[in-house]
Structure 1
Amino acid sequence: MSSKRPASISDLRQRVARARLPGGDRAVTERARRMLDVYLETADTHGLALADVARELKSGTAALRIGGAELEQQATSAALRDAACAPGCAFCCILAGEDGAVIFEAEARALHGALVPLAGEPDGRDWSARACPALDPETRACRAYDARPMVCRAYVSPDAEACRQVAEGIPAPGPGLLGGRAVSLAVQMLARAALQGVATVPSFSLSAVAAAAVEGREIDAALREARHKPRVMDDERKRAAGD
């Protein structure tokens, strides 16, 4: 990657074209590359400022729009048609590991904004110690549903019992993520490569952001606490690809 700072959206497109991502699904990477190039070409055609486009890349806004378009194309897929998901099930909201999930800055800000008005109220951890703080502990409904991150939107399963087993740490076939999640991760990593030397492109812990919000901490403090080291996004993309 050239050390010369991009002076135009065209320069960003060239950086995206040259970027090489470690691991992951090559077909997903190339699809993400094509979609991001179209995104940037459209921004250039409409005369958007380089600084504004860079902010959209840094925050994950571009990755989420592209990943969201991918999810919309899968709206009639068998995976969604056969999904056993129902209100109150919530086993998918038992978060794995310390992070729960990897999310982008735009997602972190939206999630925090939806939950901070609920500060001090009982949260999902009153139902299960590892549950997402966004949950209502009585109904097990997501209290930030409209602001839920891509990883939540993309998760589906044909078998609620399998979800329960996975939540308990028992491997089970069935639950998984739709392709929009992998695409959005690949787009964000391409954006990180394109903005090298210009801006840092961070990722954040879903569980840490949600916990900070319901415990009443302001957004800047929440982002500081939840921010990942750069390697985490690489590892998440590899996990999504099954590497």
Structure 2
Amino acid sequence: MKPTSSRAARRLAKKQGKSAPLTIGDLADRVAKARVKSIPDGAQTRAKRILQAYLQSAQNYGMPIQDVVREIASGQAAWRLGHAVRDEMLKTPPDAVRKAACKQGCAFCCILSGGEGGVITEFEATQLHTALIPFKGDPDGREWHPEACAALDPETRGCRAYEARPMICRSFLSLDAAACEANAAGGTEQGAGLLGSHLDYLAIHALCRQALKGISQVHTYSMAAVTSGAIDGLDALTNTRQKPSALEIACKDGSHAAGG
């Protein structure tokens, strides 16, 4: 008698001393069961729905399972899905976007106090590093301010890796440039924050980590270390990997900012 479901097939294979091959359906089951304590239920449910839609699309197009795992583990899936959520939101821009005071050369948000500069994925780290390779050894943002992002041009304060900038850079905005300048000096002024879509992006990546436990590792990296490493001639992922808790903290902070 043939097994009537994929679950039954896995049970039969286990009974026969074999390991059933991983399927996209298996990953979908893992996502459904995943739980990230630092993300509110509503945001977590939404992120699961988005990730499940990605997996269903991958299955419909016959995407090889190893490619799906690679995209999820590297953060490329979170990047694509986070962009989709952000683009949809920007079709009807909220007041925070329409009234943003951000402009090229302001750059106070690019002073990376605390040393990490934000959580980025392996995909983002690689993209960012590649964009900065041509500037290896050149003067960088640290000549303007010792804690500034090395991707900055020290003269114009413009980002030299603008097209490859990570999601955190694309999500940050401010209603008051003066508040950003004050906060860069250690202040606590109001007016700056992250788009709500950034929590979706973080939640998706955190769920990917949970879903791939025992299959593939899902790391995050320090944006400050990646940018400075590129200018200093280091490999993209050398000594830039963060502790697992960095993503959890980012999710918690993102939830708090979103009012969760």
Return the letter of the residue paired with 2:115.
E
Matched residue of 1:225: which SS? coil
Of structures 1 and 2, the larger Rg is shown by 2
Provide the residue aligned with 2:127 in structure 1.
110
Aligned length: 237
Provide the residue aligned with 1:142 in structure 2.
159
1:45 positional shift: 0.8
Query: How has the CA–CA distance of structure 1 residues 153 and 6 changed in structure 2, closer, same or farther, with 3 Å as cutoff?
Result: farther
Segment of structure 1 superposing worse, 208-217 or 162-171: 162-171
Segment of structure 1 superposing worse, 199-208 or 24-33: 24-33
Provide the residue aligned with 1:87 in structure 2.
104
1:70 positional shift: 1.4
Provide the residue aligned with 2:197 in structure 1.
180
Q: Distance in 1 between matches of 2:150 and 2:70?
A: 28
1:74 positional shift: 2.4
1:71 positional shift: 1.1
Q: Distance in 1 between matches of 2:203 and 2:232?
A: 32
Return the letter of the residue paired with 2:63.
L
Match of 1:61 among 63, 69, 76: 76
Matched residue of 1:48: which SS? coil
The two structures have a TM-score, normalised by structure 2, of 0.88
1:40 positional shift: 0.4
Return the letter of the residue paired with 1:195.
L
Segment of structure 1 superposing worse, 129-138 or 75-84: 75-84
Provide, for residues 114-168 of structure 1, a one-character-per-residue CA deviation record: whole Å limited to 9, x for no partner. 0011011100000001100000000000000000000000001111011111211
Q: Percent identity?
A: 46
Matched residue of 1:176: which SS? strand
Q: Spell out the pairing of 1:159-170 with structure 2 (5 A cutoff).
A: 159-170=176-187
1:231 positional shift: 1.3
Q: Distance in 2 between matches of 1:114 and 1:32?
A: 29
Matched residue of 1:16: which SS? helix
Return the letter of the residue paired with 2:39.
G
Q: Distance in 2 between matches of 1:168 and 1:240?
A: 22
Matched residue of 2:151: which SS? coil
Provide the residue aligned with 1:73 in structure 2.
88
1:224 positional shift: 2.7
Stretches of structure 1 that go unaligned for 5 or more consecutive residues are none
CA contact (8 A) 1:105 1:204 kept: yes
Provide the residue aligned with 2:222 in structure 1.
205
Provide the residue aligned with 2:251 in structure 1.
237
Stretches of structure 2 that go unaligned for 5 or more consecutive residues are 1-18
Segment of structure 1 superposing worse, 51-60 or 65-74: 65-74
Matched residue of 1:224: which SS? coil
Return the letter of the residue paired with 1:237.
C
